[in-house]
Amino acid sequence: MIKPVSPYPSLIIEGDYGKIMVISDLHLGWEASLAEDGIHIPSQTNRILKKVKEILAIENPSSLIILGDLKHTVEKIMLEEWRDVPSFLEEVKRIVGEVRVIPGNHDGDISILLPSGVKLEPQQGVIVGDVGLFHGHAWPDIRMLNCKTLVIGHVHPVITFRDHTGYRVTSQVWVKAPCNSITLAKAILRKYKIKFKDEEEALRILSEEYSTQPRVENLIIMPSFNEFLGGRAVNKISIARDEALKEFIGPILRSGSINLGEAEIYLLDGTFLGELNQLTIVR
Ligand SMILES: [Mn+2]
């Protein structure tokens, strides 16, 4: 079972493996990076911690998975992150028995910031029941093709409109997109340089060498947990055309296997807005 924790940007995955809470893109220390531009705002880490604690109190999960971009600066570690990231994790660890971190593209050198007992997972992600979790800036583990649902962060999806008085409305959203698992399987095999002649051979290799069958039905893109951050307006981008966005969007959205047009878009409070096609701004 997989469900969002309305109205929070958090997922609960529940099964015989326990109850797991997932959050993504906290970007702790983001405000400190603004100081380099002369903009000084108070640390947001306590606000984020308070929100995590609220959800932990409601859901009482046995495990917390942080789906990447726990901290903000990409390569180096800022002074604020040295302080904020370990204390944040210590606090969370006191409430939930297990904390696992899947690294994102902002999590360079993250391992030295993790207190003992917090587990660093591979960038290729982790599988929980029939759900595959990875940050989204890199390719997942081949065996994730076996999962019914894939979940990524990284994109910080929002939708944005301008009304007739000129006001701009921006809302964080959940994106649930259909996935063609065969197309995805071929793309992943190519990425890992595993040669195959045709679909039949691709399926045979997956089955014989990885005990895997392509079963992915949906990709869920999580809203960022740090709501202060900007987002990517999913109703304004064209994956095919926007070359500049390629790096940002990540390989799975570029693999041709995800049908973003037919993606279901939901607000954080659960309101269904429609399919992305209906929300897309034609320019
Ligand atoms: Mn990211």
Ligand 1 centroid to Cα of residue 205, in Å, is 31
Residues spanned by the domain of 142: 2-279
10-residue mean pLDDT profile of the chain (283 residues): values are: 96 96 94 83 90 97 97 76 90 96 90 92 96 96 97 95 85 96 96 95 96 97 92 74 62 91 95 91 58
CB 93 within 8 A of CB 66: no
pLDDT value, residue 248: 62
Q: How far is the CA of 4 from the centre of ligand 1 (A)?
A: 20
Tokens representing residue 255 in the block: 């693999």
- Give the distance (Å) from ligand 1 centre to CA of residue 194: 27
Residue that has been written with the tokens 């034609």 in this structure: 282
CA 54–ligand 1 middle distance (angstroms): 24
Give the chain's largest Cα–Cα span: 60
- State the Cα–Cα distance between residues 233 and 225, nearest whole angstrom: 16
C-alpha 197 – ligand 1 centre gap (Å): 34
Q: What pLDDT does residue 162 have?
A: 83
Q: Give the three-class secondary structure for 46.
A: helix
135 CA → ligand 1 middle, Å: 7
Q: Where are the alpha helices (DSSP H) in 104-198?
A: 181-191
Distance from the CA of 274 to the center of ligand 1, in angstroms? 26
* Ligand 1 center from residue 240 Cα (angstroms): 20
Angle, to 10 degrees, between the axis of helix 45-59 and the axis of helix 79-95?
Answer: 20
pLDDT of residue 242: 55
pLDDT, residue 64, reads 98
Count of domains in the chain? 1
If we measure between CA atoms, which residue out of 68, 276, 66 comes closest to residue 176? 276
What b-and-e string marks burial along 132-166, b requiring 16 or more CB atoms within 10 Å of the CB?
bbbbbbbbbbbbbbbbebbbbbbbbbbbbeeeeee
CB 20 within 8 A of CB 13: yes
CA of 42 to the centre of ligand 1 (A): 23
Confidence at residue 207, expressed as pLDDT on a 0 to 100 scale: 96
- 74 CA to centre of ligand 1 in angstroms: 9
C-alpha 18 to ligand 1 mean position (Å)? 27
Tell me the backbone φ, ψ of residue 95, rounded to 5 degrees.
Answer: -100, -40
pTM over 0.75: yes
